[in-house]
Structure 1
Amino acid sequence: MTHAEAVTVDARGMRCPWPALRLARAMRDADAAILLADDPRAGREAAALAAEHGWTIAAEGEARWRVCRG
């Protein structure tokens, strides 16, 4: 899957749990998402959500993660 096919979830300025909630909502209809979140806890919460659903997650820089199904 290319970056163009990933949905962007811009949760900058939002405090947890909102970035994870927005990510979960986006992943209902998408196979991949880019999460942009500046809350220091967002990475941990997104990783926990990904583990719960069997998604992969990889950091792509500061405050940016790529989440994919399977």
Structure 2
Amino acid sequence: MIDLAGVTFCDSSGLDALLGARIETGRQGLTLDLARPAHAVARLLEITGADKVFPIDPGIPFVPKTRAG
């Protein structure tokens, strides 16, 4: 699990690193979970669709998705 609570900014390089780590853990038969992303990071994951490939640990609060209405 990667605890993202202290990460306030993530760009394409950070996302690429997370996706690379996910691929590598998958090759080893493991799952890479993300926990507690800050709003900006959660939004990046949502916009790029990465929130669908990374499990979010259910025991740790996740920033809820919001939709502009």
Report the TM-score range of the alignment, normalised by the length of the smaller protein.
Answer: 0.3 to 0.5
The TM-score normalised by the length of structure 2 is 0.47
Choose between structure 1 and 2: higher helix proportion.
2
Task: Between the two structures, name the one with larger relative contact order (CA 8 Å, sep ≥ 6).
Answer: 2
The TM-score normalised by the length of structure 1 is 0.47
Choose between structure 1 and 2: higher strand proportion.
1
